Amino acid sequence: MCSSDLAKVRRQVGLTSLYDDLAKTSRSPRTEVLSFAIEPTTDALAVELGVAVGTDVYVFERLRYAEGEPLALMRNHVPASLLRLSADDLRTHGLYELLRKSGINLKIAKQSIGARAATAAEAQALGETRRAPVLTMTRSAYDDQGRAVEHGSHIYRASHYSFDITLTGL
């Protein structure tokens, strides 16, 4: 293992939140809420969330830090009918913690992981150089009743973050 790997956040792929994972490993998570609003869903988002077009959803963007370093830019959509959310809630708690406190039991998620070059704005927010590599993750999570409870599009600093995946035989 090279010395740069020691500082990386290594995260098992599972139905957990980045905030919870960082807190469990004493990585001092901190969140800056960049935007927070309630908006009607678009056609594509309505399909992802399984709601009617125009349904109100919370839309928020956060910058997550680990040990004082910017780590991830996260954009999420959550149906407004599920719970009461505020920017202050998201500054001090992880989204999945807030969902659990509202009685929502996360059961399953559909997730896609990729990579690309950061835009100038993303690189600046993450403290990287323009066109630096970033990892991408898009997730739709569902509760134990089969309802879509969140859709997220996140990017992570590839220099500080990796996904660990355990594969098993059939």
Written as six digits, the tokens of 79 are 């149906």
Alpha-carbon distances, residue 77 vs 11, 45, 129, 154, 162 (angstroms): 22, 8, 28, 12, 24
Contact at 8 Å (CB) between 89 and 76? no
DSSP type of residue 130: T
pTM of the model: 0.85
pLDDT score for 40 = 97
pLDDT score for 77 = 98
The three-state secondary structure class of 64 is strand
Residue ranges of the chain with pLDDT lower than 50? 1-6, 11
What is the spatial distance between Cα 99 and Cα 21, in angstroms, rounded to a whole number?
A: 16
pLDDT score for 164 = 75
pLDDT score for 150 = 96
Locate all alpha helices (DSSP H) within the chain, ordered by sequence.
3-6, 18-24, 43-49, 87-92, 95-101, 120-126
